[in-house]
A and B are shown apart, each in its own frame.
Chain A
């Protein structure tokens, strides 16, 4: 089963395994969302949307519709 960023729970750590280059804009990759990088869910807004993440040291928030396209492996 594929785990995506959207499946992360608050405080959990994970490693990014794959980023779909067609669905995810280049910008997110450029901000550090690359395979091999660590990610942690810092906080979730109500309804788990947006998600406040710490990706490779970058603190940012993205919408759930984007998060589902990032495959991860929970640590």
Chain B
């Protein structure tokens, strides 16, 4: 029978803590959410020896226990609540050999909590390179701990770390310095009032407003009311505490660590000189962006075609192998198509996150944030909004989740609200078919008009995001204390394992987040499209057969016509007809109306729906295109899909907020109904107006 202990991994960002976590848990990890708040909870299992398992929580990276953001709050909440089921039996503080001084601040604070603590010094492989040497026994003595020197890159030291964890009971729980000396009188009184509590814990509760779960509430309230000092006094005391801690650390490191400056070869400053250059920095960044988009576009078309065919075949197979009937049809046409609509975007999303993850792991992303911050701020965004905006070109869902590291609530909110404007991959199938239909052949300066139009649409997406951010910034009256800091880590070669796991995790978030919703809506839409009220629907076969009796149609042709008639008189068809007056000024007819309504499930459903409407047997773009080209505008006579209505439709899709899954994520991340509702109403209204204006203007 194996026992399990709780281990908490804590440390500054950029220390390779994630690599340590990955090294200890491998694939035995799961990512979820802390209940009620939008902070990622990462946990995993590590086998320590035959009878011992470690349940590891990878706490959010933080520089100090004095929390200044939601995820840092999570750290204290866990560490101060002995009754939490995840309360650690042992803590591993991960630090890196080049930033030891700063990393140790957190370490000394953790030690004050009197929980067994191990110091893991990572990136040991860089010691020679930087001319650093460490006196481990000395440090172990002064810091009252045991040290594991590891290198996740070279995969050394992990077994030492595991051994230390196993023997956690041997670790000292003595703090390494006495922070209470900063104001002996005050702390003396504190100790007197609450003799049963850890002094440092009391201090943390007083200086911060933290929630400890229902069990400790009353006690904590009593402590929190021990406010015999004013807020500015407390702040000054915190400053004193920080200075005192650093004095301690400096003294320890003066002996325990030696840096031979002559040895250091500084790759970081050499690279930074170019990558953050006033001119070249930006040029390089845009070049990289272009490369990424090109690669994603090229690389994903092959797997996407494969997926498309596979699902189409599966659908056929189900239809023929299972007994004929309503449910079989639902399975083949509703469920499998719905699933296919989700799976087909996995290549694009995976590739985008592959690139973003590589840029982040290498350290380059911080430089991008640095370069873009000022410009972004003019539009109410933050330099840290770059990643979400770029991610939004694959899918808005992981993009919106990536806004969590933006410190200012206002900047974060604006980023969340405008990200859906960027052209996500789901809009592409719609764009492509309309462009093929209405944009003429021919080229200018070597670029075809069609390609130019596509590029233009991407630019429209980006600029409308930026412009609406600008407006929102002026209009929204939210006061938020902004404090922007971005660490510029050393450049390093991305670890494949970390990148791989990140891609896996982000793709999963898309599939599960969007997938369930899209599937549910697909089912509903299928039902609405396959059933209809009244005789017109129920007697479709008779009506059509009679109608076309004189013409000698093949059975296939007849079936297609029946399907089309059924669709017209189904529930969804009736909806399409009902909204027709509203959309006619945009140049659409009820058939397009149906397609627009159904693309609320997933925009890519647009093409499939059109296929059914125009009684095309398959999703072949060419066939649909030809069929659509032949449609006649009931009022004006000319072709329905002309330049004007085509552009109108393109612009409608560029601005409309149709993705239910995105709205669900926005609701979750902003913890309110207000924002997704505004998004939906405003964006759809905007889409309507722009489409209307363009159609009227162009025709």
Chain A, Cβ-Cβ closest to B374: A49
A32/B246 in contact, CB under 8 A = yes
CA distance A66 to B369 in the complex (A): 17
A59/B268 in contact, CB under 8 A = yes
CA distance A58 to B369 in the complex (A): 17
B284 close to A (CB within 8 Å): no
Shortest beta-carbon distance from B226 to chain A in Å:
20
Chain A residues within 8 Å of B483, by CB? 25, 27-28, 66
CA distance A15 to B273 in the complex (A): 23
Q: Which of B394-402, B460-468, B486-494, B546-554 contacts A (4 or more CB under 8 A)?
A: B486-494
Select B99's contact among A22, A29, A52, A57, beta carbons within 8 Å. A57
B374/A22 in contact, CB under 8 A = no
Interface size on A, residues (CB 8 A): 30
Select A50's contact among B64, B235, B272, B484, beta carbons within 8 Å. B484
Q: Which of B137-145, B190-198, B237-245, B350-358 contacts A (4 or more CB under 8 A)?
A: B237-245
CA distance A26 to B72 in the complex (A): 13
CA distance A49 to B373 in the complex (A): 8
Chain A residues within 8 Å of B484, by CB? 50, 62-63, 66
Chain B 92-111 interface mask (CB, 8 Å, partner A; 1/0): 00000011011001000000
Chain A residues within 8 Å of B102, by CB? 31-32, 56-58
Q: A27-B483, A29-B239 are in contact. Are A50 and B373 (CB under 8 A)?
A: yes
A-B contact pairs, 28 of them (CB 8 A): A21-B236, A21-B239, A25-B481, A26-B64, A26-B68, A26-B238, A26-B239, A26-B242, A27-B483, A27-B485, A28-B483, A28-B485, A29-B243, A30-B64, A30-B66, A30-B242, A31-B63, A35-B243, A43-B370, A45-B276, A45-B373, A46-B374, A50-B484, A52-B488, A57-B99, A57-B101, A59-B487, A60-B488
Chain A residues within 8 Å of B105, by CB? 30
Residues of A within 8 A of B (CB): 19, 21-22, 25-32, 34-35, 42-43, 45-47, 49-50, 52, 56-63, 66
Chain A residues within 8 Å of B374, by CB? 45-47, 49-50
B101/A32 in contact, CB under 8 A = yes
Name the residue among A21, A25, A32, A61 with the largest chain B CB count within 10 angstroms: A61
Task: List 12 other contacts, CB 8 Å, given A50-B486, A56-B101, A58-B487.
Answer: A21-B235, A25-B483, A26-B235, A26-B239, A32-B101, A34-B242, A43-B273, A43-B276, A45-B370, A45-B373, A61-B369, A61-B486
B242/A29 in contact, CB under 8 A = yes
Chain B, Cβ-Cβ closest to A32: B102
Chain A, Cβ-Cβ closest to B72: A27
B2 close to A (CB within 8 Å): no
Chain A residues within 8 Å of B98, by CB? 57
B101/A27 in contact, CB under 8 A = no
B3 close to A (CB within 8 Å): no
Shortest beta-carbon distance from B132 to chain A in Å:
11
CA distance A72 to B384 in the complex (A): 28
Chain B, Cβ-Cβ closest to A60: B487
Q: A22-B235, A43-B272, A60-B488 are in contact. Are A27 and B64 (CB under 8 A)?
A: yes
Chain B, Cβ-Cβ closest to A37: B246
B206 close to A (CB within 8 Å): no
Select A34's contact among B235, B236, B246, beta carbons within 8 Å. B246
CA distance A25 to B487 in the complex (A): 16
Q: Which label, helix, strand, loop or mixed, suits the secondary structure of the B interface? A: helix
CA distance A31 to B269 in the complex (A): 20
Shortest beta-carbon distance from B499 to chain A in Å:
23
Chain A residues within 8 Å of B68, by CB? 25-27
A42/B101 in contact, CB under 8 A = no
CA distance A54 to B370 in the complex (A): 14
Chain A residues within 8 Å of B273, by CB? 43
CA distance A62 to B236 in the complex (A): 22
Chain B residues within 8 Å of A21, by CB? 232, 235-236, 238-239
CA distance A49 to B374 in the complex (A): 6
> B residues 56-111 with Cβ under 8 Å of A?
63-64, 66, 68, 98-99, 101-102, 105
Select A62's contact among B63, B64, B485, beta carbons within 8 Å. B485
Shortest beta-carbon distance from A58 to chain B in Å:
5
> B residues 262-294 with Cβ under 8 Å of A?
268-269, 272-273, 276, 278
B371 close to A (CB within 8 Å): yes
Chain B residues within 8 Å of A66, by CB? 483-485
Chain B residues within 8 Å of A62, by CB? 484-485
CA distance A27 to B106 in the complex (A): 11
Shortest beta-carbon distance from B464 to chain A in Å:
25
A59/B232 in contact, CB under 8 A = no
B593 close to A (CB within 8 Å): no
Shortest beta-carbon distance from A45 to chain B in Å:
6
Chain A residues within 8 Å of B383, by CB? 50
Shortest beta-carbon distance from B238 to chain A in Å:
5
Chain A, Cβ-Cβ closest to B69: A27
Chain B, Cβ-Cβ closest to A47: B374
CA distance A21 to B99 in the complex (A): 24
CA distance A10 to B536 in the complex (A): 78
CA distance A61 to B374 in the complex (A): 12
Shortest beta-carbon distance from A9 to chain B in Å:
14
B66/A26 in contact, CB under 8 A = yes
> B residues 219-256 with Cβ under 8 Å of A?
232, 235-236, 238-239, 242-243, 246
CA distance A61 to B268 in the complex (A): 14
Shortest beta-carbon distance from A63 to chain B in Å:
5
CA distance A69 to B276 in the complex (A): 24
B489/A19 in contact, CB under 8 A = no
Chain A residues within 8 Å of B485, by CB? 27-28, 31, 60-62, 66
Chain A residues within 8 Å of B101, by CB? 32, 56-57
CA distance A16 to B78 in the complex (A): 35
Chain A residues within 8 Å of B490, by CB? 59
Chain A residues within 8 Å of B481, by CB? 25
CA distance A18 to B440 in the complex (A): 66
Chain B residues within 8 Å of A58, by CB? 99, 102, 487
CA distance A6 to B63 in the complex (A): 24
Chain B, Cβ-Cβ closest to A56: B101
> B residues 351-408 with Cβ under 8 Å of A?
366, 369-371, 373-374, 383
CA distance A13 to B290 in the complex (A): 37
Chain A residues within 8 Å of B371, by CB? 45
B239/A52 in contact, CB under 8 A = no
Chain B residues within 8 Å of A63, by CB? 373, 484
